[in-house]
């Protein structure tokens, strides 16, 4: 194969030693604008030119074009390698003209497509999972199994992400040997640890980077990150560290595998819906309430954008059947249309400070989320208070949490006392 010269000055120095990293599992995590995706896109182009077949995935297919695809295309242009690839935008494939090696792109929301993906020559050698914290452990395990078949190259699974909370499956799975700055890692044969920066053992490599490692940022880029003061966002997106729950709205919650740890039988079922369409999703929750033990079980959810009202109605009928669905009351027209289409939709009775009252009521319960409800877990993990007074949660990724408040809204209002006759109470 013809040689291809690479100008390494276009790659941030911190990443250069990882261009030929052969570890089976590779994690590149840290702060925003640290250059992780740019480096991995550049490496993907170089790897394809060397004969590797790479599958690039994200949780949702529609997010790939504006993220990984564009990063790889930019890397190709920086390297001056466009003429060496055959580009199919419709199929989202990049094929090396001389060898047939490919870079393929797919979303994990299309399971059948993932199962059937095969490069046109040779075996799949690499999988790059971008925004890996969006994915479940089951997604990761299924992808890991896709790396099979004879190949002259070592097989690799690469995860890139901004960290979230330390109860995330990625932290539990891979960070057992990780050491923070100032922490003594302890000596083990074949293990190399640079506290707060990197970890390597026989099969695993981890690198943490921040905006300080990206010499291509502008001063304005750096200033925006350095001026972020909110605890969680500063910790995760500026410092690139796993978050702790100091400013989390919900602290008494966890995820569980409901197949192995099912909720108690006989609990009341509630459904809630938060309306959305283009940028914000329509988000629905199914939950169980255990008043006696002060527990809420979130058993099922859906969260989808682009649903017109008849599609939303069909989705809700399959989701909730003929049960009552308590909806955001901001759009009474949508509620009326859902009812006309056969959904037992009812408006939430919002009152003054209903958001804070609803949050305070939920905080009185332990919330247990089915492990399959990945979007709900992500929302619960990132739901934080704003700084300042009066207390307000940060808006944004809270659609399923709002749906949960609506679902249980009838249980939050004070119950009226019911007076019974004396003979009914034995007097």
Rounded Cα–Cα distance for residues 363 and 408 (Å): 13
- The two tokens of residue 145 are 């199994």
- Secondary structure (H, E, C), the chain: CCCCCCCHHHCCHHHHHHCCCCCCEEEEEECCCCCHHHHHHHHHHHHHHCCCCEEEEECCHHHCHHHHHHHHHHHHHHHCCHHHEEEECCCCEEEECCCCCEEEEEECCCHHHHHHCCCCCCCCCEEEEECHHHCCHHHHHHHHHHCCCCCCCCCEEEEEECCCECCCHHHHHHCCCCCCCCCCCCCCCCCEEECCCEEECCCEEEEEECHHHCCCCCHHHHHHHHCCCCHHHHHHHHCCCCECCCCECCCCEEEECCCCCCCCCCCEEEEEEECCCCCCCEEEEEEEEECCCCEEEEEEEEEECCCCHHHHHHHHHHHHCCCCEEECCCCHHHHHHHHHCCCCEEECCCCCCHHHHHHHHHHCCEEEEECCCHHHHHHHHHCEECCCCCCCECCCCCHHHHHHHHHCHHHHCCCCCCCCCHHHHCC
Give residue for tokens 């988000």.
283
How many whole angstroms from its chain centre is CA 223? 26
Contact 87, 133 (CB under 8 A): no
Rounded Cα–Cα distance for residues 79 and 147 (Å): 27
The count of residues in the chain is: 427
Provide the pLDDT for residue 216: 94
What pTM did the predictor assign? 0.64
What's the farthest any 2 CA atoms get from each other in the chain? 99
Rounded Cα–Cα distance for residues 327 and 349 (Å): 9
Provide the pLDDT for residue 426: 39
Domain ranges of the chain: 11-238, 253-412
Provide the pLDDT for residue 276: 92
- The two tokens of residue 153 are 């190259």
Provide the pLDDT for residue 244: 63
Provide the pLDDT for residue 2: 54
CATH topology of domain 253-412: Nucleotidyltransferase; domain 5 (3.30.420)
Provide the pLDDT for residue 231: 65
Contact 127, 55 (CB under 8 A): yes
Provide the pLDDT for residue 416: 44
CATH 3.10.20.30 fits 11-238, yes or no: no
pLDDT in tens, the chain (427 residues): 556 778 888 899 999 999 999 999 999 999 999 999 999 999 999 999 999 999 999 988 888 888 999 999 999 999 999 999 999 999 999 999 999 999 999 998 876 678 778 899 999 999 999 999 988 888 899 899 989 888 999 999 999 999 987 778 899 899 989 998 888 877 788 899 999 999 999 999 999 999 999 999 999 999 988 887 666 678 888 899 987 656 778 888 888 889 888 999 999 999 999 999 888 899 999 999 999 999 999 999 999 999 999 999 999 999 999 999 999 988 899 999 999 999 999 999 876 678 889 999 999 999 999 988 988 988 887 788 877 667 788 877 899 999 999 999 999 865 443 433 334 433 3
């Amino acid at each position: 194969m013809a040689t291809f010269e690479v100008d390494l000055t276009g790659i941030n120095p911190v990443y250069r030693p990882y261009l030929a990293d052969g570890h089976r599992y590779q994690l590149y995590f840290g702060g925003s604008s640290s250059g992780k995706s740019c480096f991995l896109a550049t490496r993907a182009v170089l790897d394809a030119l060397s004969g590797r077949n790479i599958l690039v995935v994200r949780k949702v297919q529609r997010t790939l074009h504006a993220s990984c695809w564009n990063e790889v295309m930019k890397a190709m242009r920086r390297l001056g390698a466009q003429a060496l690839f055959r580009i199919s935008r419709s199929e989202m494939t990049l094929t090396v003209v001389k060898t047939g090696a490919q870079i393929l792109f797919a979303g994990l929301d299309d399971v059948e497509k993932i199962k059937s993906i095969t490069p046109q020559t040779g075996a799949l050698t690499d999988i790059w999972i971008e925004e890996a914290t969006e994915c479940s452990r089951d997604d990761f395990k299924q992808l890991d199994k896709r790396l099979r078949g004879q190949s002259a190259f070592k097989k690799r699974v690469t995860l890139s992400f901004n960290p979230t909370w330390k109860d995330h499956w990625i932290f539990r799975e891979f960070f057992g040997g990780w050491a923070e700055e100032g922490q003594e890692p302890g000596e083990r044969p074949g293990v190399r640890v640079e506290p707060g920066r990197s970890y390597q053992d026989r099969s695993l490599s981890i690198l943490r980077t921040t905006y300080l490692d990206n010499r291509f940022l502008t001063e304005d880029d750096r200033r925006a990150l350095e001026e972020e003061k909110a605890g969680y966002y500063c910790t995760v997106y500026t410092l690139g560290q796993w978050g702790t729950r100091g400013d989390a709205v919900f602290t008494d919650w966890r995820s569980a595998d409901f197949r192995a740890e099912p909720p108690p039988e006989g609990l009341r079922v509630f459904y809630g819906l938060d309306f959305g369409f283009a940028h914000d999703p329509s988000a629905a929750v199914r939950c169980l309430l255990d008043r006696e033990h002060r527990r809420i079980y979130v058993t099922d959810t859906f969260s989808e954008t682009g649903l017109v009202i008849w599609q939303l109605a069909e989705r809700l009928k399959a989701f909730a059947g003929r049960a009552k669905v308590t909806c955001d009351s901001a759009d009474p027209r949508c509620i009326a249309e859902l009812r006309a289409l056969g959904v037992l939709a009812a408006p939430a009775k919002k009152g003054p400070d209903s958001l804070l009252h609803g949050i305070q009521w939920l905080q009185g319960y332990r919330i247990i989320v089915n492990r399959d409800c990945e979007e709900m877990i992500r929302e619960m993990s990132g739901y934080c208070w704003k700084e300042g007074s009066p207390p307000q949660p940060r808006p944004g990724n809270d659609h399923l949490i709002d749906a949960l408040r609506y679902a249980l809204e009838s249980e939050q209002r004070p119950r009226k006392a019911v007076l019974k006759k004396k003979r009914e109470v034995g007097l």
